Homo-oligomer: A and B are copies of this chain.
């Protein structure tokens, strides 16, 4: 119906290429099915070594490496810094431009984000934008529809066909000097920020070179990776969906605790340009707190917030949707327009002949099975049979509860022709009086 706008259709140079050897003309390995013979070709061995091999080696080495408390403390602090590099930097700043950062803050985030060893900003943000734009579809790079483990790790451990992943506009990232530089020098950034820097800190400050490498380097990387991977897996699997339940993103405090506040993921997918993930003050979102702090320090500005009117509208619409689903499961009685029409005299006759019929508000109800159960007693309900019981039912004798009205509607069997008004008028004519009040 409409052509793709210009920035969408620009050729390859705009797109980051993950593998220099990739030639779009040759058939990609993912195009041939996985077999006993070729399975090892489907595996991204580099990533297996990076994500699983090195941490495993680190764990084993840790057995012979004493853990000093200074190193432990620094590892935790550095865990939070590199985690923030991903959540506040890669994610909220670059993938979603939910706020703007001054150059020093950008450099800091690009550096510590690199130390989390999750790829360059450019590569990460491109995939992440595709994830938001094509959530849960085949174009989503880490679609949870392919399994929880796939969305957590599998998408990196198995080779991916670059053609499969949805295209997104990353022209703003290509114009960003810090992003450009980090992408070009990614391997150096990774090695230095991931391993050399923590080793230097622990080595120079308290002489624990080995501990700094193993604990604040290797093992810290492993924990930061697993934690941030949870945004792709756990956050699409565990929790509530207060804003939209058509896709998989979910809100849960456990995910928030693990991911430095990225756990309110249903909100985030609905309002990705909002610098917050948690909108309540009591929810855990240290990434939001950090961005806010940077703003106070003059390092961040233009913090974007979706209008709360629109947020509340979204929440309400989702609640309404759930309510409508529940409503459709209940018995609301035969709809009025499907009921047979009865003559008033016919109603009176049938009631006189022993059918337990009570007319309320122009609708005839069969209360036969309810007479003995009536909380107001048999005599009371019987006094309404064959009459217009509207007034009695609505306060003339007893002002029935909403529950009683609901029960009544399930007993509908017909409507009086012309409604009760016609009967009132006819009776008034007969009595030659000009009254509209009935007395039963």
Contact = CB atoms under 8 A, between A and B. Distances in A.
A169 B2 CA distance: 74
Interface stretch (A54-62, A256-264, A316-324): A316-324
Contacts of A327: 316
A276 to B, nearest CB: 14
Contacts of A314: 402-403, 406
A241 to B, nearest CB: 12
A24 interface: no
Given A316-B323, A330-B312, A332-B313, A397 B169 contact: no
- In the complex, the 6 A-B pairs of residues with the closest C-beta atoms, listed nearest first: A2-B396, A1-B391, A273-B375, A1-B396, A313-B406, A310-B406
A309 B5 contact: no
B309 A330 contact: yes
A244 interface: yes
Contacts of A172: 377
26 contacts: A1-B396, A2-B396, A3-B439, A3-B440, A5-B379, A5-B380, A6-B379, A7-B377, A97-B375, A172-B377, A244-B401, A270-B401, A270-B403, A272-B375, A304-B373, A306-B403, A309-B331, A309-B410, A310-B406, A310-B407, A312-B326, A313-B332, A314-B403, A314-B406, A316-B323, A319-B323
Interface of A: 1-8, 96-97, 133, 169, 172, 243-244, 270-273, 304, 306-307, 309-314, 316-317, 319-320, 323, 326-327, 330-332, 373, 375, 377, 379-380, 383, 391-392, 396-398, 401-403, 406-407, 410, 437-440
Given A310-B406, A313-B332, 9 more contacts: A1-B437, A2-B391, A7-B377, A96-B375, A307-B407, A310-B407, A311-B403, A312-B330, A323-B323
A439 B326 CA distance: 42
A270 B332 CA distance: 18
B309 A1 contact: no
Contacts of A169: 377
Contacts of A6: 379
A200 B364 CA distance: 61
Nearest to A407: B310
A43 to B, nearest CB: 34
A182 B262 CA distance: 66
A137 to B, nearest CB: 11
